[in-house]
Structure 1
């Protein structure tokens, strides 16, 4: 995983990705605790860039290592405001 962390940072940046967090320090504030031990949160300029990162041939061996070495969730979350009532989520 150390090689993953070192190399994947640059691959994400190539697609406009910026790490917001890469941590094992989190706690469940509400509801049942989940089984994650690490969470990486990467911001991309748009969903297409996130998909380009996930499908990057250079990322493939690292993705495979992550898949083989962990139970994982790899998700994209958009910046939509489905409730419509959160002004800070409104696009300019």
Structure 2
């Protein structure tokens, strides 16, 4: 089952960004993942706006593939640099479609 990583990032020190951008893409691909979007063009349509600098959405073929990416020793220095130079919230969702499984959300 595919899983999606939603990375919501507020950059506080952009020194890590060039190395991260140049190297992490290859590590994502190594684990079967792909970027669906990496954008700083963020518009809040509903709810409370955040001060995010960028949001990235990545797709992995499975939770195991995502976990392998996150645990890859080659990713560790980039992840640590990102954590030191940003406030990051990473969320994981799978490709489950709950439409039709609860009474108020009919299947399409």
Q: TM-score per shorter chain, which class?
A: 0.7 to 0.9
Structure with the bigger percentage of strand = 2
Which fold has the larger relative contact order, with Cα–Cα distance below 8 Å and residues 6 or more apart in sequence?
Answer: 2
Query: Partners of 1:74 and 1:31 in 2: how far apart?
Result: 19
Gaps of 5+ in 2: 1-16, 101-105
Structure 1 residue 2 corresponds to structure 2 residue 32: no
Instruction: Say whether the 8 Å CA contact 1:50–1:76 is kept in structure 2.
Output: no
1:54 aligned partner: 70
Gaps of 5+ in 1: 88-92
Instruction: Say whether the 8 Å CA contact 1:17–1:44 is kept in structure 2.
Output: yes
Report Cα offsets for 1:18-59 as digits up to 9, x if no partner: 111111012001111112111111111111111111111100
2:11 aligned partner: none
Structure with the bigger percentage of helix = 1
Structure 1 runs of 4+ with >6 Å offset: none
